[in-house]
Amino acid sequence: MEMEARIASPGFWDDAEASQKLLRERTSLEKTVEGWERLRRLLDDVKVLIELGSEAQDEATLQEVKALNDTLEEGVSQAEFRRMLSGPHDRNSCFVSINAGAGGTEAQDWAEMLLRMYLRYCEKKGWKADITELQAGDEAGIKNATFTIDGEFSYGYMKAEAGIHRLVRISPFDNNARRHTSFASVFVFPEIEDDIDVKIADSDLRIDTYRSGGAGGQHVNVTDSAVRITHIPTGIVAACQNERSQHMNKATAMRMLRAKLYERELEERAARAAELGGEKKDIGWGSQIRSYVLHPYRMVKDLRTGVETGNTDAVLDGELEQFIVAFLMGVRRYDQENAPS
């Protein structure tokens, strides 16, 4: 095998970074092969038990067949889902930015609720999440926050969350207990490999240092060495305040900036392709994807797939898998594709 030959070659460790990347790739491929091998062995077991149960008319054996078949079906579904995570950066770690929409304290509180929801989701997935930038709200909540997620396939999953999220509830900040609608946007960028060429001229950068602000707490280290980098030609900003040295904050901010510029280039290419093809579709993150209604009834509904649940507390506590899986598997709303003509 070509990959094994490269690993066994005498000069393999001359480039440690490239070697580590190749080893990670091999591990990933081995896991994929092992997964399919397990499914193949399980299928063989099911076939054997079907023959034995049919010949002996053994009800217990047939029940075992059913249990194994259910396991096999679940395994195939999971493998099919992993196949959907085959984009060029789906396996990568990622950056997530949350921004409160118009509406002052209401929207800022909603943005903080989303931040908590995603941090809880990361805990459930076993991913490591670190807040790198956080601007506290004027009275409550946050104006914006950016956090990194270190975990295999975190970008592949989290890209399903990019878009506008809408909350409907009785406002805890309204003395008249009126119903309010709040919006917040979520942006997701993959952490790109160093071997991807993103040209950034030093003359195009404005680098500012400042003292980190906001509530801080367990997620943000309040330091004097926070760094904000502005890419002047595009106006794209990346900032980091959670590291304990200015050098480390700058390095993290530059990684974020590279990811944002790379994603911008991909979006511009997609937009140009759509124009050439005569397509009229939204490119980017500017469309509402999900509604969270807490009054007058309780419901979370994904507007892209139609998946919904009345267990709003669980969703806001990080139970997002049903929405993410449905979106990545290409589920579409009934009223869009199956409506009578």
Domains of the chain: 2-84 (1.20.58.410), 94-328 (3.30.70.1660)
Region 212-232: mean pLDDT is 67
Residue 59, pLDDT above cutoff 50 = yes
Reported as type and span, the H/E element at residue 300 is: strand 299-302
* Lowest mean pLDDT, pick from 91-95, 269-273, 276-280, 290-294: 276-280
Of 5 and 308, the structure prediction assigns the larger pLDDT to 308
Residue 18, pLDDT above cutoff 90 = no
**Rounded Cα gap, residues 86 and 146, in angstroms:** 25
pLDDT number for residue 282? 38
Residue 243, pLDDT above cutoff 80 = yes
Residue 100, pLDDT above cutoff 80 = yes
Residue 224's pLDDT band (boundaries 50, 70, 90)? low
| Structure-token pair, residue 277 | 């093809």
pLDDT number for residue 331? 64
pLDDT number for residue 216? 44
Residue 119, pLDDT above cutoff 70 = yes
Range picked from 25-39, 93-107, 282-296, 319-333 for highest mean pLDDT: 93-107
Percent of the chain clearing pLDDT 90 (strictly above): 48
Residue 274's pLDDT band (boundaries 50, 70, 90)? low
Region 161-189: mean pLDDT is 92
pLDDT number for residue 33? 77
Residues in the chain, total: 341
Burial class (CB in 10 A: 0-12, 13-18, 19+), 75: middle
| Structure-token pair, residue 128 | 């490591």
Pick the closest to residue 193 from 97, 265, 93, 261 (CA basis): 93
Beta bridge partners of 148: 95, 130
Residue 142, pLDDT above cutoff 90 = yes
* b/e per residue 162-201 (b: at least 16 CB within 10 A): bbbbbbbbebeeeeeeeebbbbbbbbbbbbbeeeeeeeee
- For residue 129, the one-letter residue type is A
CB 117 within 8 A of CB 318: yes
**210 φ, ψ (degrees, to nearest 5):** -160, 170
Q: Long-range pairs for 262-267 at CB < 8 Å and ≥24 separation? A: 262/189, 262/190, 262/192, 262/196, 262/198, 263/189, 263/190, 264/234, 264/236, 265/198
pLDDT number for residue 337? 42
Strand pairing class (163-170; 288-293): parallel
Pick the closest to residue 95 from 263, 222, 323 (CA basis): 263
Of 211 and 54, the structure prediction assigns the larger pLDDT to 211
Strands ordered across the beta sheet of 205-210: 205-210, 226-231, 236-240
**Rounded Cα gap, residues 184 and 169, in angstroms:** 14
Give residue 102's region: left, alpha or beta (phi > 0; psi -120 to 50). Answer: beta
Region 175-201: mean pLDDT is 86
Of 312 and 35, the structure prediction assigns the larger pLDDT to 312
**332 φ, ψ (degrees, to nearest 5):** -130, 155
Query: Which residues touch 176 (CB under 8 Å, ≥6 apart)?
Result: none
Rg from Cα positions in the chain: 24
Of 21 and 86, the structure prediction assigns the larger pLDDT to 86
Region 198-202: mean pLDDT is 88
Of 231 and 60, the structure prediction assigns the larger pLDDT to 231
Region 254-267: mean pLDDT is 89
Residue 285's pLDDT band (boundaries 50, 70, 90)? very low
**Rounded Cα gap, residues 136 and 271, in angstroms:** 34
**Rounded Cα gap, residues 259 and 150, in angstroms:** 14
What pTM was estimated for this model as a whole?
0.72
In the chain, the N- to C-terminal Cα span, in Å, equals 54
Residue 273's pLDDT band (boundaries 50, 70, 90)? low
**Rounded Cα gap, residues 101 and 85, in angstroms:** 30
**Rounded Cα gap, residues 128 and 314, in angstroms:** 21
pLDDT number for residue 308? 97
**Rounded Cα gap, residues 260 and 94, in angstroms:** 11
**Rounded Cα gap, residues 256 and 243, in angstroms:** 14
**Rounded Cα gap, residues 167 and 185, in angstroms:** 12
CB 137 within 8 A of CB 105: yes
Residue 28's pLDDT band (boundaries 50, 70, 90)? low
pLDDT number for residue 54? 66
Pick the closest to residue 154 from 182, 183, 128 (CA basis): 128
**What is the average pLDDT value for the chain, to the nearest integer?**
82
